[in-house]
Chain A
Amino acid sequence: MVIDPGLLFVQALNGLQFGVMLFLMAAGLTLIFGIMNLVNLAHGSLYMVGAYLASVVLERTGSFALAVVLALLGTALVGIVVEVTVIRTLYARDHLDQVLATFGLILFFNEIVRMTWGKAALYMPLPAVLEGDVPLLPGIRYPVYRLIIIVVGLVVAVLLYLFIARTRVGMLIRAGASNRTMVGALGVDITRLYTLVFGLGAALAGLAGLMAGPTVSIESGMGEPILILTLVVIVIGGIGSIRGAFVAAILVGFADTVGRAFLPPLLRIMLPPATANQAGPALASMMIYLLMAVVLAFRPQGLFPARTG
């Protein structure tokens, strides 16, 4: 099998694009898990809320920019309301209660969007300038919108890094991730910090959702498939670590893309066609879980464990 270098390049971009999307989801989830010791299964619902809000605002106003801004603010607000009304009562409970309650939130959000916007999937068009594809290298074209997703994702990653590493609030968040009790004992208003982190995580999930909006079917339940991948990412990266979430998200993005793009054709060379058609897709969809198993075998705490105490 000859692999065309152009194709390899495009697939690398695809892996990166998928990786930054996963990072946006994983950053919020890993902070919430790391700092508040809370398993939040409803993180995917915030992704869905972001996509719905963007689509609805775009349909009403016709402005993509306004849709982006309102969806971001709206999702952060929804996140904060959920934190204050539901999540806050769960911090002291054990993980099983948290799983149960946040699973309940998934059902609640799926039902509420269905009641509000109907069962049929919503449509979210792209502004004309973002449509189509551009030549990157001679003979290699790539969709404009996907490039924008990559750029936005990387910019957000850098901003988030600066925020966490260089600001006072960021310092508290880092401190919270390594030793919550001590941060509280030092007189930091932990309640406000928690609400802030949850709102931030919600806004990041909303950003991922609104960016995915034009490429996917906006429908009830769209957050669950991505939630599962996000959980894989934060486990590989090490819970509570933004750096870990970034590295793991890119790794998972690449592993998944390589698995889907090159594994089935590779197997078709080595195996009879019928067997290859059976094994190829199965193996490709297992790639990221294999990656997780390998990482956990060697580093049970994940690649960059944040909590030491």
Chain B
Amino acid sequence: MIRVVVAVVAVVLLVSPAAAADRVKVGFIATFSGPAGSIGQHMWDGFALGLEHAGGKLGGLSTEVIKEDDQLKPDVGLQVTQKLLEKDRVDFVVGTIFSNVMMAIYKPIVDSKTFLIGSNAGPSPIAGAQCSPYFFSTSWQNDGPHEAMGKYVQDKGFKKLYIMAPNYQAGKDALTGFKRYFKGEVVGEVYTTLNQPDYSPELAQIRAAKPDALYVFYPGGMGVNFVKQYAQAGLLKELPFFSAFTVDTVTLGAMGEAAVGTYGTAFWNTELKNPANERFVADFEKKYKYTPSNYSAQAYDSALLLDAGIKAVQGKLDDKDGLRAAFRRADFKSVRGPFKYNTNNFPIQNFYLHQAVKDASGKLRLENRGVVFKDHVDAYAKDCPMKW
């Protein structure tokens, strides 16, 4: 009996032509609990605003978004992915924050021929050898911001750098990316234990090594701890501080004065002058009463990309090839300004320098300091066998 049912279902599935759907289901996976939960909230709010700007309907279809928490655990990420694919039968998945979770959910999603919109993590395998026609990133390949910082430090003529990151894959990738463009001397390359709360021994070592500047990658709470202790040790006055994913609008409030004067790089900041970004930042602050971060911006763009793709195929969600072709055109106004896809479905985009400043009213913000990379292409696209 079961065999008959399966056969009938299979036949029905095979012969049914791509018909316009009347609604679209999107699975949204991010970390909503634990210390990183605030990043998930930034992302969720960004996506919700994107959906609102699309008239509450992605591509004109009534839209249901199912929110899932991966708890920063790859196995939980995998579980919620299976639920989204098998029980909810979502049409698209948007996510996720951490590369280790991304690597766990990536294969099941693209193997099921469901489009995955990467709205943060961009680990190198996905941009390179394991690239997929069912994956599109609205963020960046992980190395991008680090490469940009490396280039900036190199261009500014710094000779001796001390570089640090947590001891895990993303930390190692960060310093590798930085060294791809920084050609001077690295007088110290230090990997600290993940989620280490205190850095006083390392700070004493930095001072003793007498570098020209410091480069670090400490996302989230680690960055708050490190930056506060760096300033308290009096090092902020002595050594220029460069970082990526460390001083951002999620962490800036908790760092306070300690972050003022530090530099960072990202594909986007609130001060980019383009109509899409101005509208996004203004509406976001009005609606959620806080400053959007790059995580919000990426998720906002994910909603716009979906909207543009579904519109282009006139709601025919089964027309995967049509959807892919539409996504590749990236026919939407990204908050980052110029945006086009490379052959590995990662963006070719600019990277900008920003500096944490305190304005006259005492408010802390990240001030745009101009373009570092124009139309940057990631280093792994050449390993991706995909042809357009």
Interface residues of A (CB under 8 A from B): 4, 6-7, 10-11, 14-15, 17-18, 114, 118-123, 125-126, 131-133, 141, 143, 145-146, 212, 214-222, 225-226, 256-257, 260-261, 264-265, 277, 280-282, 284-285
Closest B residue to A280 by beta carbon equals B191
Knowing A120-B254, A123-B254, A261-B205, the reply to whether A277 touches B189 (Cβ < 8 A) is yes
Q: Nearest Cβ distance between residue A282 and chain B, in whole angstroms? A: 7
List 29 A–B pairs whose Cβ atoms lie within 8 Å, in order of A's numbering. Answer: A14-B200, A14-B201, A17-B200, A119-B37, A121-B38, A121-B221, A121-B224, A121-B253, A123-B253, A123-B256, A132-B232, A132-B234, A133-B232, A143-B200, A143-B232, A215-B228, A216-B221, A217-B223, A217-B251, A217-B254, A221-B35, A225-B196, A225-B197, A260-B192, A260-B201, A280-B191, A281-B167, A281-B193, A282-B167
Q: Which chain A positions have C-beta within 8 A of B38? A: 118-121
Complex-state Cα separation, A131 to B232, whole angstroms? 6
Complex-state Cα separation, A264 to B118, whole angstroms? 36
Q: Nearest Cβ distance between residue A176 and chain B, in whole angstroms? A: 32
Closest B residue to A282 by beta carbon equals B167
| Docked-complex contact B232 and A215, CB < 8 angstroms | yes
Q: Nearest Cβ distance between residue A274 and chain B, in whole angstroms? A: 11
B204 interface neighbour in A10, A121, A226, A282, Cβ under 8 Å: A10
Query: B173 an interface residue at 8 Å Cβ cutoff?
Result: no
A281 interface neighbour in B191, B197, B223, B228, Cβ under 8 Å: B191
Q: Which chain B positions have C-beta within 8 A of A219? A: 35, 221, 224, 254
B197 interface neighbour in A6, A122, A222, Cβ under 8 Å: A222
Q: Nearest Cβ distance between residue A24 and chain B, in whole angstroms? A: 14
Closest B residue to A122 by beta carbon equals B254
Q: Nearest Cβ distance between residue A79 and chain B, in whole angstroms? A: 22
Q: Which chain A positions have C-beta within 8 A of B66? A: none
Knowing A215-B225, A217-B221, the reply to whether A18 touches B198 (Cβ < 8 A) is yes
Binary interface profile of B, 338-361, with partner A (CB < 8 Å = 1, else 0)?
000000000000000000000000
Interface residues of B (CB under 8 A from A): 34-35, 37-38, 41, 167, 189-193, 195-198, 200-202, 204-205, 208, 220-225, 228-229, 232-234, 250-251, 253-257
Complex-state Cα separation, A285 to B192, whole angstroms? 8
Complex-state Cα separation, A6 to B37, whole angstroms? 41
Closest A residue to B190 by beta carbon equals A264
Closest B residue to A10 by beta carbon equals B204
Q: Which chain B positions have C-beta within 8 A of A216? A: 197-198, 221, 224-225, 228
| Docked-complex contact A226 and B197, CB < 8 angstroms | yes
Q: Which chain B positions have C-beta within 8 A of A220? A: 34-35, 37
With most chain A CB atoms within 10 A of its CB, the pick from B167, B223, B250, B253 is: B167
Complex-state Cα separation, A276 to B234, whole angstroms? 30
Q: Which chain A positions have C-beta within 8 A of B191? A: 277, 280-281
Closest B residue to A118 by beta carbon equals B38
Q: Which chain B positions have C-beta within 8 A of A217? A: 35, 220-225, 228, 251, 254
| Docked-complex contact B234 and A141, CB < 8 angstroms | yes
Q: Nearest Cβ distance between residue B167 and chain A, in whole angstroms? A: 4
With most chain A CB atoms within 10 A of its CB, the pick from B202, B204, B223, B233 is: B204
Complex-state Cα separation, A143 to B192, whole angstroms? 21
Complex-state Cα separation, A131 to B189, whole angstroms? 28
| Docked-complex contact B197 and A121, CB < 8 angstroms | no
Q: Which chain B positions have C-beta within 8 A of A15? A: 201
Q: Nearest Cβ distance between residue B256 and chain A, in whole angstroms? A: 5
Q: Nearest Cβ distance between residue A147 and chain B, in whole angstroms? A: 11
Complex-state Cα separation, A145 to B231, whole angstroms? 12
Closest A residue to B234 by beta carbon equals A133
Q: Nearest Cβ distance between residue B19 and chain A, in whole angstroms? A: 42
| Docked-complex contact B35 and A18, CB < 8 angstroms | no
Q: Nearest Cβ distance between residue A67 and chain B, in whole angstroms? A: 15
Q: Nearest Cβ distance between residue B220 and chain A, in whole angstroms? A: 8
* 5 closest A-B pairs by CB: A217-B224, A121-B254, A217-B221, A119-B38, A133-B234
Complex-state Cα separation, A123 to B35, whole angstroms? 14
| Docked-complex contact A121 and B35, CB < 8 angstroms | yes
| Docked-complex contact B205 and A7, CB < 8 angstroms | yes
Q: Nearest Cβ distance between residue B275 and chain A, in whole angstroms? A: 29
Q: Which chain B positions have C-beta within 8 A of A121? A: 35, 38, 221, 224, 251, 253-254
Q: Which chain B positions have C-beta within 8 A of A120? A: 38, 250, 253-254
Closest B residue to A21 by beta carbon equals B198
Q: Which chain B positions have C-beta within 8 A of A225? A: 195-197
Closest A residue to B171 by beta carbon equals A281
Q: Nearest Cβ distance between residue B76 and chain A, in whole angstroms? A: 15
| Docked-complex contact B253 and A143, CB < 8 angstroms | no
Q: Which chain A positions have C-beta within 8 A of B190? A: 264, 281
Q: Which chain A positions have C-beta within 8 A of B257? A: 125
| Docked-complex contact A214 and B200, CB < 8 angstroms | no
Q: Which chain A positions have C-beta within 8 A of B222? A: 217
